[in-house]
Amino acid sequence: MKLGVLKIGVDVAAVVDKQSLEQQYPKLFQGVGKLNSKQVSLHINPEVKPVAQPLRRIPFNLRGAVEAKFTLVTDHKPLEVIYGPHSKPCARIERWVLRLQPYDFKVKHIPGKRNIADPLSRLLGETAQQEKHHHGSDEYVRFVAVSATPKALTTREVEEASATDPELIEVRKAITNGRFENCKAYAAVANELCVVGYLVLRGTRIVLPHSLHARALTLAHEGHLGIVGTKQHLRTKVWWPGMDRAAEKHCKECHGCQIVSRPDPPELLRPTPLPDGPMDLA
């Protein structure tokens, strides 16, 4: 089974290969109405949701009636990576990935001229009205931001510090224009970053401004759990470049940890060999 998806200007079109479905599942289309052709055409909302919406608006249940894998064919090549098994998207895109988890499918890229959904782009009228966009993605990102805030801090406090942090100001600009020349430490995780208000998120973790680094390290090191425990506490909520090195340095400089920690064992004594006779070099 194949589902073809195409992003077209103000609308997104999707079609399903009905003929192959009827051959494999003869009773699949019972109760869905009379179809004039062998394709099901859908006109849906854009905003880079060409995969999530067609799967939800097809007039039959892909999860119940078709208990098999299907191939989603698209001319938008980045979707192969976004919906791949090793994807690490930002929080806004992760919401779409989570919504598609009930479906068993793989994404295949083909050129736009070979996409079976492409002819639908000629059928769009000039007076097509856009539907009102739901801001579910933004709401999910805000929820992630609140959940990722350490309990001893407030989201407002982190946002106020982020608004005036010079480094995060450059990061927000880089996320908008895609240029990370002024913040190269963030370039490796650029695909995982997103912005909500003045907050910067990496996946489901808040990128802390520099003024809150020391406070976060102190909070994570409560209980003197050592280097590994401190890193684990930090990684569940926050992130910034060089966070692991900062945690190691903080633990090594902790006076309480130095008192209770086991000192390094002394080196074994190495006695100087005695000469065997007169005039021998020792």
Q: Say what the pLDDT of residue 68 is.
A: 57
Instruction: State whether 63 and 105 are in the same domain.
Output: yes
Q: Say what the pLDDT of residue 118 is.
A: 56
Compute the Cα dihedral for 98, 103, 108, 114 and give only its sign. negative
Domain-embedded: residue 143: no
Low-confidence spans in the chain with pLDDT less than 70: 1-68, 92, 112-138, 140, 282
Instruction: State whether 201 and 240 are in the same domain.
Output: yes
Q: Select from 81, 105, 121 the last residue of a domain.
A: 121
User: Which residues on neighbouring strands pair with residue 17, listed in sequence order?
Assistant: 39
Burial 117-145 (b: 16+ CB within 10 A, else e): bbebeeeeeeeeeeeeeeeebeebbbebb
User: Which residues on neighbouring strands pair with residue 109, listed in sequence order?
Assistant: 74
Domain-embedded: residue 45: yes
Instruction: State whether 116 and 204 are in the same domain.
Output: no
Domain-embedded: residue 240: yes
Instruction: State whether 74 and 155 are in the same domain.
Output: no
Q: Say what the pLDDT of residue 24 is.
A: 59
Domain-embedded: residue 278: no
Instruction: State whether 90 and 169 are in the same domain.
Output: no
Q: Select from 121, 156, 190 the last residue of a domain.
A: 121
Whole-model pTM: value is 0.53
Q: Say what the pLDDT of residue 66 is.
A: 45
Instruction: State whether 223 and 177 are in the same domain.
Output: yes
Instruction: State whether 113 and 160 are in the same domain.
Output: no
Cα-Cα end-to-end distance for the chain: 84
Considering its fold, how many domains does the chain have in total? 2
Domain span at residue 98? 2-121
Check which CATH number belongs to the domain holding 19 and give it: 3.30.420
Q: Say what the pLDDT of residue 240 is.
A: 93
**Average model confidence (pLDDT) for the chain?**
72
Q: Say what the pLDDT of residue 77 is.
A: 77
Domain-embedded: residue 276: no
Instruction: State whether 69 and 6 are in the same domain.
Output: yes
Question: What gap in Å lies between CA 137 and CA 119, rounded to an integer?
Answer: 30
Compute the Cα dihedral for 222, 202, 108, 119 and give only its sign. positive
Instruction: State whether 9 and 114 are in the same domain.
Output: yes
Check which CATH number belongs to the domain holding 205 and give it: 1.10.340.70
Instruction: State whether 23 and 116 are in the same domain.
Output: yes
Instruction: State whether 95 and 192 are in the same domain.
Output: no
Question: Which residue carries 């106020």 as its tokens?
Answer: 160
Helix segments in 149-197, DSSP class H:
155-164, 166-177
Distances (CA, A) of 71 to 17, 78, 108, 148, 203: 11, 16, 7, 35, 27
Domain-embedded: residue 281: no
Q: Say what the pLDDT of residue 49 is.
A: 44
Domain-embedded: residue 112: yes
Domain-embedded: residue 43: yes
Determine whether 67 is exposed, middle or buried from the number of CB atoms within 10 Å of its CB (0-12, 13-18, 19+).
exposed
Instruction: State whether 117 and 154 are in the same domain.
Output: no
Q: Say what the pLDDT of residue 104 is.
A: 76
